[in-house]
């Protein structure tokens, strides 16, 4: 299995603190990692088939503040597919003139969808196959980028099809919103004014968010397992899908 | 205008020396930069809307040896489209289960192709529009990835259509070969045994390739303007298209 980290904020925010917490778990999840950062419609993707513990690319990300409103990160423990760069999440495709960024935690058994559209996997994972199928079905459902509510309704129809094949925890973003679906383990919280302290569970690192924020800032963090002590994380229910916009979970 | 750098080798090779030479030219070409590295079918893409002179991402690439057989780099001097991340080359799309990496130097006037296929620009440049049109036409021409000779013939039919709209120097790779087309400025050379010294034209940096290579290594470098003194660069003719495989230019 793998671990996911998502961030959705109402102002460009860095994820150095949360990514450091995630990277601590890469001694077990050592088969590559990746992080994608939206900047408007633009995207930066850093991927490496090495462990986030000792990859120089991960070291760079832990110390260089890339500010973004939508971030998806993944550390991999391979279940299907070799430990190579093409099998490293997150994956990216373009649809309707927007980049779509996707990462998956889980294991889909016997999932062999008909890929008759414009999206084909480059690597050998069940995850990228699921992503290509998802993009294909989205492309059939709308003629151009729908609004977030409409997109969420379409995803709510498609998620159970994937979930039926096994564990399907995922994060998806197109730079407008961040969607999270849980089948087993996924947690979220929102950091807002008044900001407090938090300490990483896995490392001797603390942060006082009040020193780094303004009262208007609002940041949602989504992670496989809670990353911090001293904050109230909410667990997703099995089968739950949530859209996050500007640091807020939308009402379902 | 912009500047291009391509590398095609028969063994994974780093481009720290050549990228340092390119980045020196970023005082003039300061509107963003990008570098894509194939590792097998996998791809790493580093992009930044800042100048390669002082971007921390560029600093990381100059000092961290990422070894690849196919590299495309670009430094941008904006002619069409704002200085933002979505307008930063190289661009990537997936087709037939392969990533395609593209960078353009030039300026296409009044190029408004019918984009009725699966590829849409995310940003606002003429370059990304040309790339989307190219991918659309390739998708029509073959059912799956053709061999390099076949692909070169298809590109030879498509390049004049783009060239007719203005300056169209480009680099394209899918991880199997690197294609280069010139309409004005593009130069290439092959480094092979016996390796010699070279000195960057734009910086006080020298390298003795013999210390970093084996007798079997073969590396082709393609650049808008020659990057080094003491090496024999060959200029492309206007309208010339060349495929490079394993560090060799293929006979046309």
Alpha-carbon gap, residue A25 to A30, rounded angstroms:
8
CB–CB contact B93 A94 (8 Å): yes
CB–CB contact B39 A85 (8 Å): yes
Task: Please list every residue in chain B whose beta carbon sits closer than 8 Å to the beta carbon of residue A44.
Answer: 46-48, 85
Residue in B with minimal Cα distance to A136 = B118
Task: Please list every residue in chain B whose beta carbon sits closer than 8 Å to the beta carbon of residue A97.
Answer: 120-122
CB–CB contact B97 A121 (8 Å): yes
Mean predicted confidence (pLDDT) in A110-138: 96
Q: What is the pLDDT of residue A27?
A: 79
Q: What are phi and psi of A236, to 5 degrees?
A: -70, 145
CB–CB contact B46 A49 (8 Å): no
Q: What is the pLDDT of residue B203?
A: 82
What is this model's ipTM?
0.94
Q: What is the pLDDT of residue B26?
A: 78
pLDDT band, residue A185 (cuts 50/70/90):
very high
Looking at A33-123, list the stretches that DSSP marks H as alpha helix, in order from N- to C-terminal side: 56-63
Q: Which of A19-28, A130-139, A160-169, B33-42 has the lowest mean pLDDT?
A: A19-28
Alpha-carbon gap, residue B203 to A29, rounded angstroms:
42
**Considering the entire predicted model, what is its pTM?**
0.96
CB–CB contact B99 A84 (8 Å): no
Alpha-carbon gap, residue B132 to B106, rounded angstroms:
16
CB-count burial class (<10 Å; 0-12, 13-18, 19+) for B194: exposed
CB–CB contact A122 B42 (8 Å): yes
Q: What is the pLDDT of residue B27?
A: 79
Q: What is the pLDDT of residue A81?
A: 82
pLDDT band, residue B201 (cuts 50/70/90):
confident
Task: Please list every residue in chain B whose beta carbon sits closer than 8 Å to the beta carbon of residue A117.
Answer: 118
Residues of A at the B interface, defined by Cβ within 8 angstroms: 39-49, 56-57, 60, 64, 84-88, 92-99, 117-123, 139
Q: What are phi and psi of A28, to 5 degrees?
A: -85, -40
Q: Per the CATH hierarchy, to which homologous superfamily does domain B3-249 belong?
A: Aminohydrolase, N-terminal nucleophile (Ntn) domain (3.60.20.10)
The DSSP secondary-structure symbol of B251 reads P
Bigger pLDDT: A44 vs B193: A44
CB–CB contact B94 A60 (8 Å): no
Packed helices A56-63 and B56-63: angle between N→C axes, nearest 10 degrees: 160
Q: Which residues pair with A24 in a beta bridge?
A: none
Residue in B with minimal Cα distance to A120 = B97
Mean predicted confidence (pLDDT) in A175-181: 98
The domain locations on chain B are 3-249
How far A107 CA lies from chain B's nearest CA (Å)?
21
State whether residue A122 is helix, strand or coil.
coil
Shortest CB distance from B86 goes to which of A41, A117, A120?
A41
Query: For residues A228 and A19, is the Cβ–Cβ distance under 8 A?
Result: no
Span A65-95, pLDDT tens digits: 899 999 999 999 888 788 999 999 999 999 9
pLDDT band, residue A103 (cuts 50/70/90):
very high
Alpha-carbon gap, residue A27 to B22, rounded angstroms:
37
How far B170 CA lies from chain A's nearest CA (Å)?
21
pLDDT band, residue B125 (cuts 50/70/90):
very high
Structure-token pair, residue A207: 């942060």
Q: What is the pLDDT of residue B25?
A: 83
Residue B96 has pLDDT above 80, yes or no: yes
User: What's the helix, strand, coil split of chain A in %, to 5?
Assistant: 25, 35, 40
Contacts of A212 (CB under 8 A, 6+ apart): none
Q: What is the pLDDT of residue A234?
A: 97
Residue A227 has pLDDT above 80, yes or no: yes
Structure-token pair, residue B168: 């169209």
Determine the residue among A14, A16, A44 to mutate to test chain B binding: the one whose Cβ has the most chain B Cβ atoms within 10 Å. A44
CB–CB contact A120 B94 (8 Å): yes
Task: Please list every residue in chain B whose beta carbon sits closer than 8 Å to the beta carbon of residue A39.
Answer: 49, 84-85
Q: What percent of chain B has pLDDT over 90?
A: 75
Query: What are the Cα distances from residue B73, in Å, to A12, A79, A240, B90, B242?
Result: 27, 34, 42, 7, 17
Q: What is the pLDDT of residue B43?
A: 97
Q: What is the pLDDT of residue A28?
A: 82
Query: What are the Cα distances from residue B101, in Å, to A21, B104, B107, B179?
Result: 33, 11, 19, 10
Mean predicted confidence (pLDDT) in A137-142: 97
Q: Give the end-to-end CA distance of chain B in Å, rounded to a whole number.
A: 28
Span B152-199, pLDDT tens digits: 999 999 999 999 999 999 999 999 999 999 999 999 999 998 888 888
Mean predicted confidence (pLDDT) in A191-205: 86
How far A219 CA lies from chain B's nearest CA (Å)?
23
Q: What is the pLDDT of residue B225?
A: 94
Contacts of B235 (CB under 8 A, 6+ apart): B186, B187
Contacts of B10 (CB under 8 A, 6+ apart): B69, B216, B217, B218, B219, B246, B247, B248
Mean predicted confidence (pLDDT) in B77-102: 94
């Amino acid at each position: 299995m793998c671990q996911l980290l998502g961030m959705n904020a109402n102002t460009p925010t860095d994820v150095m603190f949360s990514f450091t917490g995630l990277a601590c778990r890469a001694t077990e999840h050592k088969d590559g990692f990746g992080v994608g950062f939206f900047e408007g419609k633009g995207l930066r993707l850093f991927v490496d088939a090495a462990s986030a513990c000792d990859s120089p690319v991960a070291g760079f990300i832990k110390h260089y503040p890339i500010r973004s409103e939508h971030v998806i990160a993944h550390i991999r423990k391979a279940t299907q597919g070799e430990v190579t760069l093409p099998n490293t999440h997150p994956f990216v495709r373009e649809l309707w003139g927007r980049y779509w960024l996707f990462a998956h935690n889980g294991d889909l058994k016997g999932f062999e969808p008909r890929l008759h559209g414009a999206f084909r996997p480059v690597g050998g994972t069940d995850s990228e196959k699921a992503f290509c199928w998802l993009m294909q079905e989205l492309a059939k459902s709308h003629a151009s980028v729908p609004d977030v509510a409409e997109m969420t309704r379409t995803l709510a129809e498609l998620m159970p099809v994937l979930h039926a094949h096994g564990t399907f925890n995922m994060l998806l973003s197109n730079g407008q919103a961040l969607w999270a679906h849980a089948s087993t383990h996924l947690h979220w919280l929102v950091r807002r004014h008044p900001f407090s302290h938090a300490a990483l569970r896995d490392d001797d690192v603390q942060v006082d968010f009040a020193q780094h924020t303004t009262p208007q800032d609002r940041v949602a963090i989504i992670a496989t397992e809670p990353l911090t002590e001293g904050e109230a994380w909410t667990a997703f229910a099995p089968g739950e899908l949530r859209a996050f916009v500007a640091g807020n979970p939308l009402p379902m």
